[in-house]
Amino acid sequence: MTSNGYDPVECIEGDYSKGLLLICDHASNGLPQRYGNLGLPDSEFSRHIAYDIGARAVTLGLAEKLDAPAVLSTFSRLLIDPNRGEDDPTLVMRLSDGTVIPGNHPISTQEIEHRLASFYRPYHETVDGMIDRFFDAGITPAILSVHSFTGSWRGVARPWHATLLWDNDPRFTRPLLDEFAKVDGLIYTDNEPYDGALRNDSIFRHGAMRGLAHTLIEIRQDLVGDKNSVRQWVELLAPMLEKINALAEMHEVRHFDSRTGPLHLSHD
């Protein structure tokens, strides 16, 4: 918890012996009181620029259904984006989808460092700590990162119901794509509408760098906008995840070089 009483992380306990960790980088549109609304009207916080609509509900539903531990952010990505590297120019957005963020423009290096120390790093340290708890129990975990995406971008429709983002480690993604292929009417793909090879993003840091099987699921936000639709996705995904999580290769430490370049692992 930060000095002003704002906890940047929500943790859900589960059965570590099952070897599956859920993370949700963009779970919340919340802000600490000191930031107000970053100079924006309330309506902006119901948009994708503030958080991934439905992602928290899906994560919590899967955590309950699978008895899986989960880590979720509690702050809006408009404050600072935990799914970016610390050196990423979009770490703190000054302009997002045509909206200027007055509370971020201009912004000092000291304020960025404060947000890193108070929100961003505690989130990632908590994920690291959860992973360490698996290893302490003698379990090598797999990681599922849960996100959602908008149904259109700049007037162009996005037809997919769900997509998987990944870099070079196929262990989680390819079996899940195979499961998607069995679902009549499900429109799916991979590495759309974004590329999963983003250096120092959340799954790069916690999955690729630690040699853990991982994938990032994106669900179109209009398909997870209410409790019934969330429940349907949880019921669809849970048995797939249980099946894939039972694969031995999901629980081995293996490093795959990134399409962004070598991992530069420490051998200390």
Q: Which two tokens stand for residue 24?
A: 């949700």
Distance of CA 254 to the CA centre of its chain: 21
Predicted confidence at residue 223, as pLDDT, reads 98
* Cα distance between residue 63 and residue 36, in whole Å: 31
Predicted confidence at residue 2, as pLDDT, reads 54
* Cα distance between residue 256 and residue 262, in whole Å: 9
**What are the tens digits of pLDDT across the range 134-166?**
999 999 999 999 999 999 988 899 999 999 999
> Where on the phi/psi map is residue 227: left (φ > 0), alpha (ψ -120 to 50), or beta?
alpha
Across the range 54-77, mean pLDDT stands at 98
Q: Which two tokens stand for residue 174?
A: 């390819």
Higher pLDDT among residues 81 and 3, named by residue = 81
Predicted confidence at residue 265, as pLDDT, reads 82
Beta strands 70-73 and 9-12 are antiparallel
Q: Assess contact for 71 and 123: CB atoms under 8 A.
A: yes
* Cα distance between residue 166 and residue 262, in whole Å: 16
Determine the 3-state secondary structure of 218 from DSSP.
strand
Domain 9-251 has CATH 1.10.357.140: no
* Cα distance between residue 184 and residue 268, in whole Å: 49
Across the range 45-63, mean pLDDT stands at 97
For the chain, the structural domain boundaries read 9-251
Q: Exposure pattern of 136-160 as b/e (b: 16+ CB <10 Å)?
A: eeebbbbbbbbbbbbeeeeeeebeb
Across the range 44-52, mean pLDDT stands at 96
Question: Cis peptide leading into 122, omega within 30 of 0?
Answer: no
**What are the tens digits of pLDDT across the range 179-227?**
999 999 999 999 999 999 999 999 999 999 999 999 999 999 999 999 9
Predicted confidence at residue 264, as pLDDT, reads 83
Q: Taking 80 as the threshold, does the pLDDT of residue 268 lie above it?
A: no
Average pLDDT, the chain: 96
pTM above 0.75, yes or no: yes
Higher pLDDT among residues 164 and 1, named by residue = 164
What is the band of 1 on the pLDDT scale with cuts at 50, 70, 90?
low
Q: Taking 80 as the threshold, does the pLDDT of residue 267 lie above it?
A: no
